[in-house]
Amino acid sequence: MRSIIAIQEGQISLEQIKELEAVVRRNYAQFIGPEKLTIIWNIAAKQHTITDRRWSRSSTVTLEVPDGFDKETRERFLTTLEGEWRQVTGQHPDQLSVGAFDQSRYSAILKANLTRFSTYGKISYLTKLLTRAFLSRMRHGVMITQFNQ
Amino acid sequence: MPLYTLASKKPFPEQTRFDIAQVITDVHCGLTGAPTEFVNVVFMTGYHMRRGTTLGVNGNLRVGGDRTADLYDRLHKQMHEGVAKAASLELPQVLLTLIGVEPHWVVEGGMILPPPGEEDDWLDRKNALHASIGIAQLA
């Protein structure tokens, strides 16, 4: 299973990222299941995200869950994770979005993201993404990359 | 939610990025009735786009509630035209894809998102919840 977490440049420290990743993994294991979860942190450059018509300070957490996952459990997972996340970051509730998507829809979204790129663009994007993510994991223990290539 | 991601090879100027985001917010909220605070727009640069495409726009938005297939058709058409104009591009240079997401798959503002058409009641409940736990509205 996959999780992509978008945060703003300079918004969350490396130590907070590590703490948040532990929070995500613990809640995922508790509510969703024991599946392996690959988490990639994606950092947006300043003045590249707009929320509610203003330059954004928001974070967006997306996770993949099994198709047809139980509605009540999914909602408890989302609200619990959202609350624990904000305890770490101190963010306002309006600055955080947490989503748990059915696996098939999550795959469709990721596929649509790649459809925009040329064949070379897809290879280049995935190579950079994986290289940055694995170098980050070697250095910091978490996989951090950035939106801008 | 909605979340619109925009990918291009070269970065658009800051003012153009801001203007494109305003158009996306105008079109999305104007047609769907969603509150502007729901709308997120992310710009990504440095990507080799497919042939003929300068700007790739992907939108993930809530489905169900009072939204019809006709509304999604109009949203696609107006969003496509509005973004192309704001980016000073021809229509074929902009590739737009919309994918629906069930509202109860997402938490924002500390609450599960409402079905489309139930935003007013949801906002009232959210603001009451925030007030009850001492959270001020964002300035």
At B91, which CATH number?
A: 3.30.429.10
Inter-chain residue contact B40 with A51, CB threshold 8 Å: yes
CA A70, CA B115: separation in Å to the nearest integer? Answer: 18
Q: How far is B29 from chain A (nearest CA, A)?
A: 11
Inter-chain residue contact B99 with A48, CB threshold 8 Å: no
Any domain includes B137: no
Q: How many domains does chain B have?
A: 1
Any domain includes B15: yes
Inter-chain residue contact A44 with B37, CB threshold 8 Å: no
The ipTM is 0.94
Residue identified by tokens 């392996």 is A36
Helices (H), chain A: 14-27, 71-89, 103-115, 119-140
Q: Which residues are registered as beta bridge partners of A50? A: A55, B41
Q: Which residues of B touch A149 (CB under 8 A)?
A: 44-47
Taking only the tens of pLDDT, chain B with its 139 residues reads: 999 999 999 999 999 999 999 999 999 999 999 999 999 999 999 999 999 999 999 999 999 999 999 999 999 999 999 999 999 999 999 999 999 999 999 999 999 999 999 999 999 999 999 999 898 888 7
CA B11, CA B26: separation in Å to the nearest integer? Answer: 22
CA A96, CA A61: separation in Å to the nearest integer? Answer: 8
CA A113, CA A96: separation in Å to the nearest integer? Answer: 22
pLDDT per residue over A13-69, tens digit each?
999 999 999 999 999 999 999 999 999 999 999 999 999 999 999 999 999 999 999
**Which helix or strand (DSSP H or E) is residue A3 part of?**
strand A2-8
User: Per the structure block, which two tokens stand in for B123?
Assistant: 């906002």
User: Does the beta carbon of B93 lie under 8 angstroms from any beta carbon of chain A?
Assistant: no
Any domain includes B95: yes
Q: Which residues of B touch A47 (CB under 8 A)?
A: 14, 17
Gyration radius (Cα) of chain B, Å: 16
Per DSSP, which regions of chain B are E strands? Answer: 3-8, 40-45, 55-62, 94-101, 106-108, 111-112
Amino acid of residue A22: A
Contacts (Cβ under 8 Å, ≥6 apart) of B122? B111, B113, B114
Any domain includes B139: no
CA B51, CA A143: separation in Å to the nearest integer? Answer: 31
Any domain includes B138: no
B positions 59-88 inside 8 Å of A (CB): 60
Q: How far is A61 from chain B (nearest CA, A)?
A: 9
Any domain includes B39: yes
pLDDT per residue over A66-111, tens digit each?
999 999 999 999 999 999 999 999 999 999 999 999 999 999 999 9
CA B36, CA A52: separation in Å to the nearest integer? Answer: 5
Q: Which domains does chain A have, with CATH numbers?
A: 2-146 (3.30.429.10)
Any domain includes B128: yes
Q: Which residues are registered as beta bridge partners of B42? A: A49, B5
Q: Which domain holds residue B115?
A: 3-132
Q: φ and ψ at A100, to 5 degrees?
A: -120, 105
User: Does the beta carbon of B5 lie under 8 angstroms from any beta carbon of chain A?
Assistant: yes
